[in-house]
Amino acid sequence: MGRPKALVTIGGRRLLERTLENLRQGGIEEVVVVLGHRADEIRTAVDLAGTTVVVNREYAEGMASSLRAGVRAVVGRAQHVMIVLADQPFVLPETIRHLAQHARRDGGRIFVPTYKGVWGNPVVFATELADEIDTIRGDIGCRAIFPNHSDEIREVPVEDPGTLVDVDTEEELSQIESAVSAGASLPELLDRLSAPRWALHASPEEHPIPRRLYRRPDVAALAQELRGQGVPFALATVVRVVRPTSGRPGYQAIVREDGSHVGWVGGACTEHLLVAEALESLRAGTPRLLRVTPDPDSFPVEEGVVNHAMTCQSGGTVEIFIDPNRPKPTLLVVGDSPVATSLAALGPLLGYRVVLVAPGVEASELPEVDELVGELEEIMPNLSPTTYAVVASMGKYDESALSQIARAPVAFAGLVASRKRAQSVFATLRDDGITDEQIARIRNPAGVDVAATTPEEIAVSILAEVTRVRRSTPAPAPVAPAAGEAIDPVCGMTVETTSPLTATVDGTKYYFCADACRRKFVKEPGKFLGAARA
């Protein structure tokens, strides 16, 4: 929203104040408030008496860092911890009390509220899962560990649309503020605001809605929502079929970076191939056409086309176009020097979101810049694994900027300075507590040696090095099956080990997605065992 959401007001009260009051009324005796960006400002503006405040200095690493900081603060002092989002101020106190009662009384280690069959927040965890939560990294929350504990999740039905509504946009804020000011029914408004969640996220893969109640999601609307949130995803569209096949032209699905997916493009034999190719498309940043057909070898090798064998008994063909959608990487430039302004001007041409940190500069002077930051203290929110940072302040802010950049997990950090001045800057950074390992990540002199002399040429050389780093990111290692999962040795699909479709060879049990795969395996196990054991 361009400002700390904790301080946004509705009806004269800040979101964080409303959330804390709901917890108090819900009977929660101990509250830990995790602050990060602009922590001092929030502590001054909000009455946090009676709470334990934890300041997460690593907040730029993503949401998981705040989650870890909060959970660490309660380990050893409580059996359960409730993860509450500060931007969900309309969760009813009765819901909070109801969740806490279930956690105290029922079996299971994870408790999730559901409204009209859709999972919401807050979520309650047994603190014995703290070590597992401590392994979560990036801009993801506690649900990252859900797949490992599917049998231990307990759904708690509630009549509370507030569990699905967070205040993410100015438009949503305006609707809520207007309703509150006019004395309108808040439950009716919240029910209306939560409605898109039913359509967008009611996927049987993501929510425990019985398959007979499956509702086709609005994939186009979800894609627009994810773009607005800056969430990477791949959009898959069926463009051609040869029947028989369950897919039809125009069917769509969305695949996220963690492999979760929403939508429908075909049967189970297509699903695992779609996820694998979508993840590869996201990694490479290039679209591709996935063709699943009974005889893939009959097609010529074509650029941008990936052929796979159709293992389903239907024997049809489906062609799916996969379009990766990634948020623009950030080119963060510090300084108002000619090199800095040249970088800011060239960045958009190479597809970067340009953030210029230049105190005293007016936005009208550099209209091509996406965001102009006037305070050095505002650098941290723009530092992430997809940030390429270049300090070109010519000595003005080198140390202040690099002391923040060096601590963050940026993709690239560069300093425009002579080697002699750089050594002086690095000495100051060491005095500030920056480690030699962190300093070694700072490129100096930044840029590829192209015998550049002018500021514009130096900017080109720096962007050449940034491009090389960006395009040489290694592919992630293949994801091993999670606990309770196995790989079908015939088609490669991920299968739950609760599947009754199994076969045992030489004392090893194998699991299958469908009876057709099991029959093929039983008939010729040697044909598939090499790949299964590799």
Rounded mean pLDDT of the chain?
84
Q: Is the model's pLDDT at 236 over the cut of 50? A: yes
Label residue 79 exposed, middle or buried (CB < 10 Å: 0-12, 13-18, 19+): exposed
- Residue 96: the pLDDT is 95
Buried b (16+ CB within 10 A) or exposed e, 273-309: bbbbbbbbbbbeeeebbbbbbeeeeeeeeeeeebbbe
Q: Is the model's pLDDT at 55 over the cut of 60? A: yes
Mean pLDDT of 291-305: 88
Mean pLDDT of 296-305: 88
The span from the CA of 88 to the CA of 82, in Å, is: 14
Q: Which residue would you say has higher pLDDT here, 331 or 108? A: 331
Whether the Cβ atoms of residue 336 and residue 361 lie closer than 8 Å to each other: yes
* 10 CB-near residues (< 8 Å, 6+ apart): 18, 89, 167, 173, 176, 177, 180
Domains along the chain with CATH numbers: 5-196 (3.90.550.10), 216-325 (no CATH), 330-471 (3.40.50.720), 485-533 (no CATH)
Q: Show the tokens assigned to 227.
A: 């773009």
- Residue 524: the pLDDT is 86
Q: Is the model's pLDDT at 240 over the cut of 90? A: yes
Whether the Cβ atoms of residue 386 and residue 365 lie closer than 8 Å to each other: no
- Residue 439: the pLDDT is 95
Q: Helix, strand or coil for residue 25?
A: helix
Mean pLDDT of 257-277: 81
Q: Is the model's pLDDT at 212 over the cut of 50? A: no
Q: Is the model's pLDDT at 508 over the cut of 50? A: yes
Q: Which residue would you say has higher pLDDT here, 499 or 385? A: 385
- Residue 153: the pLDDT is 85
- Residue 210: the pLDDT is 41
Number of neighbouring beta carbons within 10 Å of residue 221: 12
Helices (H), 347-412: 398-405
Q: Is the model's pLDDT at 481 over the cut of 80? A: no
Q: Is the model's pLDDT at 401 over the cut of 90? A: yes
Max mean pLDDT range (203-217, 312-326, 379-393): 379-393
340 band by pLDDT with thresholds 50, 70 and 90: very high
Mean pLDDT of 205-214: 41
The span from the CA of 81 to the CA of 74, in Å, is: 7
84-132 pLDDT, tens per residue? Answer: 998 889 999 999 999 999 888 876 789 999 887 778 899 999 998 888 8
Label residue 531 exposed, middle or buried (CB < 10 Å: 0-12, 13-18, 19+): exposed
432-451 pLDDT, tens per residue? Answer: 999 999 999 999 999 999 99
pLDDT over 90 percentage in the chain: 40
The span from the CA of 512 to the CA of 108, in Å, is: 28
195 band by pLDDT with thresholds 50, 70 and 90: low
- Residue 532: the pLDDT is 45
Whether the Cβ atoms of residue 254 and residue 216 lie closer than 8 Å to each other: no
Mean pLDDT of 317-326: 93
Q: Which residue, 161, 163, 158, 136, is CA-closest to 147?
A: 136
Q: Is the model's pLDDT at 296 over the cut of 80? A: yes
Whether the Cβ atoms of residue 385 and residue 409 lie closer than 8 Å to each other: yes
- Residue 215: the pLDDT is 53
Q: Which residue, 251, 268, 264, is CA-closest to 215?
A: 264
Instruction: Specify the range with the lowest mean pLDDT, choosing from 27-36, 71-80, 117-126, 515-524.
Output: 515-524
* 209 CB-near residues (< 8 Å, 6+ apart): 117, 118, 202
- Residue 314: the pLDDT is 58
Residue 427 host element (H or E) = helix 419-431
The pTM assigned to this predicted structure is: 0.49
Q: Which residue would you say has higher pLDDT here, 526 or 341? A: 341
Label residue 449 exposed, middle or buried (CB < 10 Å: 0-12, 13-18, 19+): exposed
Q: Is the model's pLDDT at 422 over the cut of 60? A: yes
